[in-house]
Structure 1
Amino acid sequence: MKNYSYKRSFDLKGKTAIVTGGLGILGKHFCRGLAEFGANVVVVDLIDYEVQEFALELETLYGVKCLGLSCDVSSPHSVKKMVEEAVREFGEIHILHNNAASKSKDLDAFFAPFEDYSIEQWREIISVNMEGMFLVAQAVGKQMVLQNKGGSIIQTGSIYGIVAPDNRIYEDSFYLNRQINTPAVYSSSKASVIGLTKYLATYWAPNGIRVNTLIPGGVKSGQNAEFIQKYSNRVPLSRMAQPEELVGALIYLASDASSYVTGQQIVVDGGMSVW
């Protein structure tokens, strides 16, 4: 392979990528990264006018074609409609970033102690973080199989899907002016992402579809100084991540640069899970 271009292997020009949770803290950075590397991006999130505005922003900044679609990933009908609209616009789907996650509108219920956690709240989070992941992977994977050209699916997990949270970090720790923790439903739902990824990696391997998990560590995004310091003390690199530091791993997994990588967990956590 004397003429192989290592640089071109990262090029996403001509490919179409769907990003669920595209308006989130990390989602916008993921969409920008994919667009900058040449992909046409389908921005998927709940609020119709916001996804459309952001899609237009991406087109203006990067000169690619983008589409904003509202979708409730916990609804089979909504997911089916979203994929059909993406295919109608672009013809094919080559990349899926299965990234949507929920932390609930009722923060008191979401952050409740394990002993008092309601089954209703548990099911609300599972409907997005687990069932939504399944529904989107199922619908997009089916389309990729029909295309018979392979594809790359990247599913967003969490550091707390592979290690338990250190609850000492959360003493006197606040996010957006309220006391926080990591509830068991979040850890459980994110751990399930890895199991689904491994299953699909083997299931769709004969179709040339690669499936991997991107696992972010803690990202600095409005936590108070107490939390940031305590979290950073648990990290070999001694700091939290910046959102843009997750994008390189996504581009690698989305592109042909990772053509022999499937069923894996790419952990971007500053070394936290090593200790």
Structure 2
Amino acid sequence: MADQLKGRTVFITGSGGVLGSTYVRRMLDEGARVIASDLKGHRADALIEKHGANENFRFYDLDVGDEDGCTEIFQRILKDGWEPNVVLNNAAITGELLMGAGKPFPDFADTSVEDFERTLRTNLTGAFMIARQMDRDIVGKWPCTLVNVASMYALNGAHHPIYDGMPFKNFSAYGVTKAGIHGLTVWLAGYWAPRKATVNTIAPGAVFNNHSEEFQKRVGELIMAGRMCEPDEIADVMLFLASPQSGYMTGQLVNVDGGFSAW
């Protein structure tokens, strides 16, 4: 549906990753004004290089684990004349990201409290701080929508054998935070309903990101569709949740996982 987001101004945290950058591209294509944010670095630079000339695109440096940054972000945006009516709580730390920082991938028994709490801080506390600032600066001033991004592992246990022999594992803190994300959704949905704000959770399935053929095979055997998904297949549903067409939905968890959660 062309221009299904025309008139929407969408603020996205964690915009530089595989899914975040796809959301940015697709929402711009559908007529939205997009406010992207991420940590400083090559992912942010790539977004700015690709979309910086687009008058409907704006970028802000933001660490969602930083309380001061979250407290200031909407005032910065509003001061620049943009009024977000859709917010995507998309920023997250994964085990792969921690490993990419030069750390060995830990077994559960070797998981440090530092890494566990860092993940909580970004994935869950960060989402809370963004939502809290929405409450202070946006909710009730105009109708708005929050979409919290969870995971296929939010309400389903990880299948640990598929990670045997792989250079990465399923990280416990990730699943814990993604379950908590939906708890935040259902709490806020009722709290904000009188102020014309909706809150939903999207739970993406296994997104292909240059995984090995063996890992794709193992994951595919757990999914009714028989394969990992492409980022645009998640974005298709995100576009609906960010659009006026989802206006009667709130407090819902939408699985986009090829049938993984139905087995």
TM-score by length of 1: 0.88
Deviation string, structure 1 residues 6-64 (Cα, Å, up to 9, x no partner)? x68x722232110000001100001111111111111100016853662463365xx55
| Corresponding letter in the other structure for 1:262 | T
Cα offset, 1:268, TM superposition: 0.5
Does residue 185 of structure 2 align to residue 197 of structure 1? yes
Q: Confirm or deny: 8 A CA contact 2:17 2:43 kept in the other structure.
A: no
**In structure 2, distance between residues paired with 1:54 and 1:11:** 22
Cα offset, 1:202, TM superposition: 0.5
Percent pairwise identity: 28
- Match in the other structure for 2:33: 40
| Corresponding letter in the other structure for 1:23 | G
- Match in the other structure for 1:90: 81
- Match in the other structure for 1:145: 139
**In structure 1, distance between residues paired with 2:173 and 2:153:** 11
Gaps in structure 2 of 5+ consecutive residues: none
Gaps in structure 1 of 5+ consecutive residues: 1-6, 174-178
User: Which deviates more, 79-88 or 236-245?
Assistant: 79-88
Alignment equivalent of 2:121, drawn from 121, 127, 140: 127
Shift in alpha-carbon separation, 1:213–1:219, aligned structure 2, 3 A: same
Deviation string, structure 1 residues 94-131 (Cα, Å, up to 9, x no partner)? 00011000136542767312122211111111110111
Alignment equivalent of 2:106, drawn from 93, 101, 112: 112
User: Which SS does the other structure have where 1:67 is aligned?
Assistant: strand
- Match in the other structure for 1:25: 18
TM-score by length of 2: 0.92
Deviation string, structure 1 residues 198-226 (Cα, Å, up to 9, x no partner)? 00011100011000001000011021111
CA root-mean-square deviation: 2.0
Shift in alpha-carbon separation, 1:188–1:19, aligned structure 2, 3 A: same
**In structure 2, distance between residues paired with 1:70 and 1:49:** 12
Q: What pairs up with 1:155-234 in 2 under 5 angstroms? A: 155-173=148-166, 179-234=167-222
**In structure 1, distance between residues paired with 2:85 and 2:242:** 9
User: Which SS does the other structure have where 2:153 is aligned?
Assistant: helix
User: Which SS does the other structure have where 2:206 is aligned?
Assistant: coil
Deviation string, structure 1 residues 167-212 (Cα, Å, up to 9, x no partner)? 1111223xxxxx1111211110110000000000111000110000
